[in-house]
Every structure is written in C-alpha cells, then in structure tokens.
DNA sequence: GTGAAAGCGCTAACAG
DNA sequence: CTGTTAGCGCTTTCAC
C-alpha cells in the first residue's frame, strides 16, 4: 500500500500539498503540481478509500437497490444498473449493489454506516415500506419508479399513464375500433407496483375518449398463458384488430401465435409494444413501440442524487414523456 | 452519526469492549454483552464503514466486474450478480459493481485503494488483459469463466466442453444421426470467449465418436438470422432431425419457425437448449436442456474468494458438470 | 503558494 | 474479562 505520505516524501513536499493537488481545493504552483503528479505516477498511488471516507465524511459510493427477483423485465433492470454505474463513474462515484430483500434494514444499514453517500432505489411499490425510512434519513435518495405519495422524495420514471394514452391514440389514429391491452402478470397488479395500473388507466381513458372499445387482460408471459389470453380475447371480441403488449416476455409468443393463426402483422392485426427499443428492433416484424428509457432513467437518477449531494433539496417528480416510434407492426385495420 | 464511543459511554464500558462485542474476538461476560447490545439497539448504532476499513485494513466489500454490454445473455449475468450479492451478505460483505470497460485501470484502482477486499470477474476472455494485472496484485480474485491460461488463478465455470458432449450423447442415445448446433453470434467466437468454442469442440468430438454427422452455424439470435440459418441447414442437410441451441435469444424464433414450417417438436425435430432452467420451462414445449448454473457459479465464486481471504492459496479451476434434463422437446427421430 | 498538526471512528496490541 | 492507547491514511483548519 503506497500512502499519501510516501508520495509527499518522494515529491519533496508536505502531505497536505499532495492532498490539495488531488482535491484541487487550493491553487498549487505548476512546478509542485508536476512533481507531485510524477510521484503519484511513479509510485502507482491510489488514495485509500476508507481513510478518505473517514476524514472527509464522503465515501464516493452510491448505493443501488435492485429487485432480487421481480416481475420486472430483467434486461431493463440490467440496463438501468449499467447506466447508473457508468454515469456514477463520471462523477467519480462507485456503485454498491444492494438487493431489495434487504428492505428497510438495508436502508438503515447504509445510511447509518456511511458506506454510501446516497441511494438509488429501484422497483418501488406504491406503498413501499422503504419510503418512510428514506424520508427520515438524511441520506440523499432517488427513486426509480413512482410511489403513491412521493412527497419529500425525488423520483424518476417513464410517464406510464401518458404511455397508455399514447398507445390508444396511435391505434385510434390508424382507425382501429376494437383494441386490447395484454398486460403484466397478475402479481404485478397485486403487488401494487404503480406502472402497470397507470398504463392501464391511461390506455382506458384515452381509448374511451377516442371512442375505442378497449379490453384488458393480465398475462404471465409464458407461451401457454399468452395463448390462452389471445384466444379468449379473440373469442369474446373477434373484431379486435390491435394489441398493446406491456409484458415483454409475451412478445415472442404473441407474434408466434399470430403467425400460426394466419393473422398477418400489420395487415390483419396491429401490435404496439411497451418495451426497450432493442426488443422492438429484434422482433420480426420490427415493432411499433413506446420505448422504456432505461438508460435515461439510470443517468437521470445519478444526476439527481448528485445534485442533492451538492445541496439540492431533492423533492421532485420527473416523468419522462413516452416516445412512440412507428415501425412495421402497426397499420390501419384491413378493409374487411 | 452515532459512534462507537457514544455506545461505550451509554453502556458504561470502554470503547474497546464495544469493539470486541462486535467482532467477537475475545470473550465478553454476558452482563456487559447485554448492556452493550442494548446501547447499540437504543442508539441505532452502525459502525462507520470507512473507519473500520482504515483501522482493520478490510473493507468488507467484494468487487464484481460485469460486462457492460456483452454477447452474454443478460438474465444469466443478472442471476450471477444477484447470487453473488446474496451470498456475499452471508459473509457480511457488500458488493461493488464495476463494469468491464473500466478494464485494467479498474482493477488497479480497486486493488490500490483498498476499496474492495477481493474481486470477482465475469465475462473473462481467453486472453483477458485483466488477468496479468490480477496475477501481480495480491488482491484475492476469482474468475467466472475460463481463460486460456488459468495458472495462478481461481476460476469457476460450467464445463462447456462436457456440455457439448452431453448434448451429442443425448441425441445419439435417442437415435438421431444428423444434428446441428445453432451457436452464439460470430462476435462471441471472434472475441475469443472460451465457452462457445469449448461447447463446439465437445459437441463435435462426441458427435464424431458416436457416429453423428454434426453441423454448426453461428447465430446472432434475431428472428431473421435464425430463419436464415435454419433454412440453410435444412437445405444443406434435409435429413437433420435435431438441433442444439446455445444462443438463448434464438430459442423463441427457432421454435416459432419450426412450428410455422410444420415440423412438430419433438415428433419431427428434437431441440436441446443450453440455457437457464427458467427459459427451458417457459418455452412451449418445455425444452430438454443443459442448465446454466448461474446461481451456483455466483455462490461458488463468493465462497472461493472468501476462502482466499482466510488464507487459501487461490489457485484452482472448478468446472461444474453439466446437468442435462430431459423435458418435452426431444424424442427419437420419426420412423420416416 | 505551502506546511504543521489535529482529528475522523475504529481496531488491536499491550497492560492489568 | 476489561480498559488504555497508539495508530490506520487522509482532510482540513490554522499559521506563515
């Protein structure tokens, strides 16, 4: 372990000087700066994280709490986590991975130990028990997701209500009259995760406003459940000409089933997905979709949390506007 | 911030006593232990991570280096990461998330700063440039994956060569004669990631030994590429009656295409996948598969790294034996 | 523009 | 079984 003191000796300056060239908190002559930097380079010096945390009361670590096993689509979680990690490095911060199952104890542990300077919390439930703990703590925090009562907290999320509405609008614009939303699994609605319910509400309201007849069915995403739901929908309302899919796992089965039943997409049936762009682009045909801005949410969360570390009050709700991209899976309903 | 000193005062004992009840490094009378624990509880004390790291030279953090964007299947990466995190907590360790793109600089930074006690490295390439750095460092490390030269390092991985062989065996046992391996994308083979090449080798050798005619095609996993590869295989060798799929993304398209072309699985065509159990179980029909033991690898990696922190030499290669589970997608070839 | 020195909160000898 | 105390390596006044 090479220490700051050794660097100082090697450079022929005092320890505090070395500290200051590192922190840029006071001006240093070009000459000494160079000497110090040379010494750092030569010795391969890296400041001891613990010592720094102790003296400065800043760990330069952000805690990220992710779902251990959730109904959320795994690639989205991963993309958010990677975006958070990448963006955090831009601020010189590292990321500590916590699992949601540590729950409030995890939050208390982090806040109490100074292990992290701030927290980013994913997979937020409407009435999440971590929220009160976060509120009473003075550790800056940002939620990715929207709880029932966001008062006193900072949140980022896709505007799912607007997302549902955008899907209804697009299909109404194309001239569809009977549409169906294939949603997330039952569990997602029951666990009171906000996004699924919000999407549904936005979809139904806008559908009503636009004079569409809208159905909704929860879907677990397996081949079997998708098949069952599809056939039930088509039985109950054979005039259905368009589907909105929210559960990413249901996309491959749905496309496969439509093909099998001889319904061409988009000629006979339109499909609009709510999914990451990558999924929409990998499917065949490429899907018209509202993209889940996973990377954007991750980056924003970091920026928001860093702003709080700079003194920002940290009470804000950022809802990212949905972006619907028209691709090959949606078209006007066939004249038949 | 409540400190150990405050706890000591509240409990009417000396700071070191508090420290020792926490570390259990010397025996404490039941009476004092109770008083201390009560004080800790009452004050909501959590040891300061930085201070502890500085004084003990142990951060209680494990660094986990994950691929930022890889050709690896995302859910597998995620499952490993979650298993590592969960198992680490069993040892009182937290997990720091690093991205592979930090490369050797990342490794040096962590080793030099004492931020983590040890490293777990994923997405290892055959000739990974992080390996020499890991070797010269005295930071314990475990690779998840198998490099060309594992000398002096600890590694865990699925035994992919045996995996390829197991697939060939299963199909040979069923009586198939013409089989094809639908592999990973070109990039995976070119980046010199070991697992794809090993699987192929194991498959080809065993196929030859068992008198099978084996084909192999790389596959990007999109619907189009899968369609192209499938039709080329069936054109070049129409007698092909079984497929082994290594690229998880190719599974849904493959099943969909087989259905479309009227080939029933498993009556006309057998499919064996190399994928997490969950994927095999979600497909229809449920797939005969060799499971990717993501959780097992993550847990093992943690145990191995912890053993090194206890003094283990840390030179070992653990190859987990493949487990092939027969489900509904494989059967003897039709008599035709 | 630079140095000296006092902690930050904890661990681990050493002493009893 | 318990207490005293000297650091761990860094940041940050205070002083020049």
pLDDT at residue B16 tops 90? yes
Residues 6 or more apart whose CB falls under 8 angstroms from that of B105 comprise none
Contacts B139 to A, Cβ<8 Å: none
Calculate the alpha carbon distances from A258 to A182, A262, B150, B326 in Å.
14, 6, 49, 29
B282/A221 touch (CB, cutoff 8 Å), yes or no: yes
Is B192's pLDDT higher than 80?
no
Strand partners for B178: B213
The alpha helices in chain A, defined as continuous H runs, are: 4-11, 15-23, 30-43, 49-56, 74-90, 103-113, 130-136, 160-174, 186-190, 194-209, 223-236, 251-260, 277-282, 294-309
Confidence of residue B336 (pLDDT cuts 50, 70, 90): low
Segment 213-232 of chain A within 8 Å of chain B by CB: 221-224, 227
Give the residue whose CA sits closest to C6 at C1': A55
Q: How far does the CA of B29 sit from the C1' of C7, in Å?
A: 32
User: Chain A: nearest CA to B288, how far in angstroms?
Assistant: 16
Question: How far in angstroms lies nucleotide D4's C1' from the CA of residue B40?
Answer: 22
Residues B122-137, mean pLDDT to the nearest whole number: 95
User: In the predicted model, what is the mean pLDDT of residues B221-237?
Assistant: 95
Please give the pLDDT value at position A267. Answer: 97
Render pLDDT for A81-135 as a digit per residue (tens, 0 to 9).
999 999 999 999 999 999 999 999 999 999 999 999 999 999 999 999 999 999 9
- Establish if A1 touches chain B: CB-CB under 8 angstroms: yes
Tell me what the mean pLDDT of segment B20-43 comes to. 96
Encode pLDDT of B131-190 as tens digits: 999 999 999 999 999 999 999 999 999 999 999 999 999 999 999 999 999 999 998 888
pTM given for the model: 0.95
Distance B125 CA to C11 C1' (A): 40
Q: What pLDDT shows up at residue A70?
A: 76
- In angstroms, the CA of A23 and the C1' of C1 are apart by 16
Quick one: pLDDT at residue A198? 95
Percent residues over pLDDT 90 in chain A:
93
Residue B312 has pLDDT above 70, yes or no: yes
Phi, psi of A46, deg, nearest 5: -135, 130
Which of A 116-155 have CB under 7 A of nucleic chain D?
A: none
pLDDT reading at B67 higher than 80: yes
Q: Within 75-104 of chain A, which residues have Cβ less than 7 Å from strand D?
A: none
Q: What is the pLDDT of residues A295-328, one digit of tens each?
A: 999 999 999 999 999 999 989 999 999 999 999 9
Residues 94-113 of A with CB under 8 A from B: 94-99, 101-102, 108-109, 112-113
* Partner residue opposite B97 with nearest CB, options A51, A81, A260: A81
Mean pLDDT confidence for A248-255: 94
The Cα–Cα gap between B122 and A52 comes to: 29
Distance separating alpha carbons of residues A276 and A181, to the nearest angstrom = 17
A115 Cβ under 8 Å from any chain B Cβ: yes
Q: Which domains does chain A have, with CATH numbers?
A: 4-47 (1.10.260.40), 61-157+294-320 (3.40.50.2300), 160-292 (3.40.50.2300)
What does the pLDDT average to over A284-291?
A: 96
Protein-covered nucleotides on strand C (Cβ within 7 A) = 1-5, 7-13
Q: What is the pLDDT of residue A227?
A: 96
> In sequence order, what DSSP letters do the residues of A232-256 get, joined into one string?
HHHHH-TT--EEEE--GGGHHHHHH
State which residue has its Cα closest to the C1' atom of C3: A14
**Interatomic separation, CA of residue B21 and C1' of nucleotide C14, rounded (Å):** 19
Residue range A39-65, pLDDT digits in tens: 999 999 999 999 999 999 999 999 999
Q: Does A323 touch chain B (CB under 8 A)?
A: no
Alpha helix (H) ranges present in A176-290?
186-190, 194-209, 223-236, 251-260, 277-282
Q: What percent of chain B has pLDDT over 90?
A: 93
Q: For testing the chain B interface, which of A7, A50, A61, A258 should be mutated: the one with the most B CBs within 10 Å?
A: A50
CB pairs under 8 A between A and B: 142
**Which of B182, B173, B288, B171 is CA-nearest to residue B241?**
B171
Residue A336 has what pLDDT? 58
pLDDT score of B33 more than 90:
yes
**Chain B 14-73 contacts with nucleic strand D (CB below 7 A):** 14-17, 20, 26-29, 31-33, 51, 54-55
Cβ atoms within 10 Å, residue B222: 17
A58 and chain B: CB distance < 8 Å anywhere?
A: no
Nearest to B59 among A2, A49, A81 (CB): A49
Q: Residue B141: beta bridge partners?
A: B119
pLDDT of the residue at A163: 98
Q: pLDDT tens, A152-210?
A: 999 999 999 999 999 999 999 999 999 999 999 998 888 777 899 999 999 999 999 99
Query: Packing angle between helix B30-43 and helix B15-23, nearest 10 degrees?
Result: 90
Give the pLDDT confidence score for residue A191 in this predicted structure: 74
């Amino acid at each position: 372990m090479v220490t700051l003191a050794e660097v100082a000796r090697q450079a022929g300056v005092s320890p505090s000087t070395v500290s200051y060239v590192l922190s840029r908190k006071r001006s240093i002559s070009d000459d000494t700066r160079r000497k110090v930097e040379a010494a750092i380079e030569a010795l391969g010096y890296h400041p001891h994280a613990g010592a720094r945390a102790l003296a400065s009361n800043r760990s330069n670590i952000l805690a990220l709490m992710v779902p251990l096993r959730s109904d959320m689509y795994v690639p989205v979680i991963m993309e958010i986590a990677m975006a958070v990690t990448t963006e955090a490095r831009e601020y010189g911060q590292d990321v500590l991975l916590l699992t949601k199952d540590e729950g409030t104890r995890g939050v208390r542990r982090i806040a109490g130990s100074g292990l992290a300077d701030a927290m980013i919390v994913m997979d937020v439930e409407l009435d999440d028990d971590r929220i009160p703990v976060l509120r009473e703590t003075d550790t800056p925090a940002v939620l990715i997701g929207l709880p029932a009562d966001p008062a006193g907290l900072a949140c980022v999320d896709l505007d799912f209500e607007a997302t549902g509405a955008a899907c209804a609008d697009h299909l109404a614009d194309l001239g569809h009259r009977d549409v169906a939303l294939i949603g997330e699994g039952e569990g997602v609605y029951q666990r009171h995760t906000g996004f699924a319910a919000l999407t549904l509400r936005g979809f139904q309201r806008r559908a009503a406003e636009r004079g569409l007849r809208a159905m909704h069915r929860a879907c677990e995403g397996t081949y079997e459940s998708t098949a069952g739901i599809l056939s039930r929908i088509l039985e109950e309302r054979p005039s259905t000409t368009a589907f909105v899919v929210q559960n990413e796992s249901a996309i491959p089965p749905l496309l496969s089933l439509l093909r099998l039943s001889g319904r061409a997409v988009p000629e006979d049936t339109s499909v609009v997905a709510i999914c990451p762009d990558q999924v929409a682009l990998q499917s065949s045909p490429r899907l018209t979709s509202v993209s889940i801005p996973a990377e954007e949410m991750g980056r924003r969360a970091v920026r928001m949390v860093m702003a709080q570390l700079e003194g920002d009050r940290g009470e804000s709700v950022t809802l990212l506007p949905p972006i619907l991209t028209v691709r090959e899976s949606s078209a006007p309903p066939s004249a038949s």
